[in-house]
Amino acid sequence: MENQLVFKMTNEKKLYEKEVLKYDWHKLEFSLLAKEYLEQGEEGMPLAKQSLELLLKDIPCGNPGLVKTLTDERVIPLTIKNELEIYMGGYNAQTVEEMLAYHDAILKDYAGDNFSKVKEELKPFLTKKWSDILLDMEKAKHIIKGEKLKTNSKEEVESAKKTFEKYQKVYNTIKLIEQKQHSKLRQKVEDAYAKEVLESMYSPKEKNVEGEKEMKKAA
């Protein structure tokens, strides 16, 4: 999960613009799940398809025929790529404050009596972009790893360690609440898939063949 959410450092123009979207870009997180399932090969394809179906139900896609096209196994990789680019654009544009606000309920549940203390300690980072923190930590990690090879000076290594330490709490906090959100969506996908498979298995005879095929893929 950690590496999957680290954005690619690129100079390409962002496809994401808040004013263009007519829906909450967070809904596109299903595309991240779809990518994870797709990477499992043929076994994960049904769940990749299910992830996209849930995504397209959540946004104003409209035409059922379009949904069918976008979730066709031959088109799924391209659908995931396009939706994921928009999702990551929104993800990379967030400040820490926006991240915490979106996951507020999860943070309250996890932090319990320490909720106010967590918010207070993270105040210095609120206006900083989450993607900038990830980038700073990635650079610091690279310098620290190179310490044994002596590719950086002692001063550079010490500075990198301080940077890494400075962001450790905010990084770990956001990763924990992100993982919870991601696992909730994963459960939603797998529940929906299981219901569809069982429904097709125990529906009238003409639909039963499709249900058995899906059951074999899931086995």
63-75 residue pLDDT tens: 666 677 777 888 8
User: What is the SS3 assignment for 94?
Assistant: coil
Tell me the sheet residues that pair with 129. 95
Q: What are phi and psi of 36, to 5 degrees?
A: -60, -45
For the whole model, what pTM was predicted? 0.76
Whether the CB-CB separation of 14 and 63 falls below 8 Å is answered with no
65/110: higher pLDDT: 110
Where would I find the beta strands (DSSP E) of the chain?
A: none
Q: What distance in Å separates the CA atoms of residue 168 and residue 218, rounded to the nearest whole number?
A: 39
Rounded alpha-carbon distances, angstroms, from residue 122 to 109, 135, 170, 200: 17, 18, 6, 49
**Dihedral angle of Cα 192, 52, 6, 18, to the nearest 10 degrees:** -120
Q: What is the pLDDT of residues 136-186, one digit of tens each?
A: 999 999 998 877 777 888 899 999 999 999 999 999 999 999 999 999 999
Spans of all domains in the chain: 1-93
Q: What distance in Å separates the CA atoms of residue 52 and residue 68, rounded to the nearest whole number?
A: 10
